Copies of this chain bind each other. A is one copy, B any other.
Amino acid sequence: MNPQSNSPTAKQPAGSPLLVVGSLALDTIETQTSRRAEVLGGAACYASFAASFFAPVRLVGVVGQDFPAAHEDLLRGRKIDLAGLERAPGRTFRWAGRYAADFNQRTTLDTQLNVFETFRPKLPPAYADSELVFLANIDPVLQLEVLNQVRRPRFVACDTMNFWIAGKRPELVRVLARVNMVLLNDEEARQLSGKDNLPAAARVIREMGPAAVVIKRGDAGALFFSQDGAFAAPAFPLERVVDPTGAGDSFAGGCMGWLARTGDLSPDGIRTALVVGTVLASFAVEDFSLDRFRALDAAAIRARCAAFADLVRFAAASF
């Protein structure tokens, strides 16, 4: 009997390892009430951390010489495998943004690609057997390079953004043809599909390859479309939102971590995973950077999973 195998805070969680590739960043965030400069961020960072509560994580990305050792220690403390984290000459990727009062709109104030400009992902040989892969939002050319280095993935998910949809569409289409699931926000889904209606957009995107399409809608929750129909997961309502940066990446990471843990890649398995992702996203926004995640344990995750179940429960109308 292994008492750790059932706990998301286990030193080395159960499940298949999840390969995550994407950005690590130093973020400068302005909200209506606060400002934080150069805090730990980046899609791969949020996704890895969220997934690490459920499965072993292998992280592929790049940081500069200025990336604080404490940040690496934080990830290593979650038993995230950093063999694929390159430390390149130069400065770490930086992003700065400002949020409107209701947090549903943000303005990018600054983007400095720095070491990301010349990044070419090189997977450690041991990563080639990864069965679950999450390609966070990076250049689709890099997403393809990662996929080419994984031998026989069972389940690949990707994210993307308006910049690639507009600027590298052919490359993105090639990625989509090779992934099982795509997660993107509503505007991106509309832009990619040319459809305003979200179920119609999902249908068009499914025809491009991914059997599973997840449309993220911020505080309006997420919609999941598959051969099995639609699933709607509302966002968890929070009276105090501090910083929504990384919510979508935490959502994806929690989801993929859960899939890696259970191995149930069916539409029903994905439904449960999306609820787990919703819960992780709800924690991510409660503090700046990954600060809320640092304090998170299995009990808190379980309690919020129960609170989510209560949020959506109802007795069916019978007549």
A contact set with B: CB distance below 8 Å: 6-8, 54, 101-103, 190, 196-200, 203, 217, 219-221, 223, 229-235, 237-241, 258, 261, 268, 271-276, 298, 302, 305-306, 309-317, 319
CB distance from A242 to the nearest CB of B (A): 11
Q: Is there an interface contact between A305 and B311, defined as CB atoms closer than 8 Å?
A: no
> With A and B bound together, what is the CA distance between A190 and B101 in angstroms?
11
Of the candidates B8, B220, B274, B310, the one whose C-beta lies within 8 Å of that of A229 is: B310
Number of copies: 2
> With A and B bound together, what is the CA distance between A319 and B53 in angstroms?
11
Of the candidates B235, B305, B315, the one whose C-beta lies within 8 Å of that of A317 is: B305
Given A196-B102, A200-B239, A275-B317, do A311 and B221 touch, yes or no (CB 8 Å)?
Answer: no
28 A-B contacts (beta carbon < 8 Å): A6-B319, A54-B319, A102-B190, A102-B196, A197-B238, A197-B239, A199-B238, A200-B239, A220-B221, A229-B310, A230-B237, A231-B311, A231-B313, A232-B234, A232-B235, A232-B312, A233-B314, A258-B317, A271-B313, A271-B314, A271-B315, A272-B316, A273-B317, A275-B314, A276-B317, A302-B319, A305-B316, A306-B316
A223, A237, A274, A315, most chain B CB atoms within 10 A: A237
Q: Is there an interface contact between A102 and B312, defined as CB atoms closer than 8 Å?
A: no
> With A and B bound together, what is the CA distance between A233 and B309 in angstroms?
12
Extra pairs beyond A230-B237, A272-B316 (8, CB < 8 Å): A229-B310, A261-B319, A268-B314, A271-B315, A272-B317, A302-B319, A305-B316, A309-B316
> With A and B bound together, what is the CA distance between A7 and B311 in angstroms?
29
Q: Is there an interface contact between B312 and A231, defined as CB atoms closer than 8 Å?
A: yes
Q: Is there an interface contact between B223 and A232, defined as CB atoms closer than 8 Å?
A: no
B residues within 8 A CB of A54?
319
A271, A316, A319, most chain B CB atoms within 10 A: A319
B residues within 8 A CB of A203?
239
Q: Is there an interface contact between A101 and B311, defined as CB atoms closer than 8 Å?
A: no
> With A and B bound together, what is the CA distance between A103 and B229 in angstroms?
23
> With A and B bound together, what is the CA distance between A271 and B315 in angstroms?
8
B residues within 8 A CB of A101?
196
A6, A190, A197, A314, most chain B CB atoms within 10 A: A314
Given A203-B239, A220-B217, A220-B220, do A232 and B311 touch, yes or no (CB 8 Å)?
Answer: yes
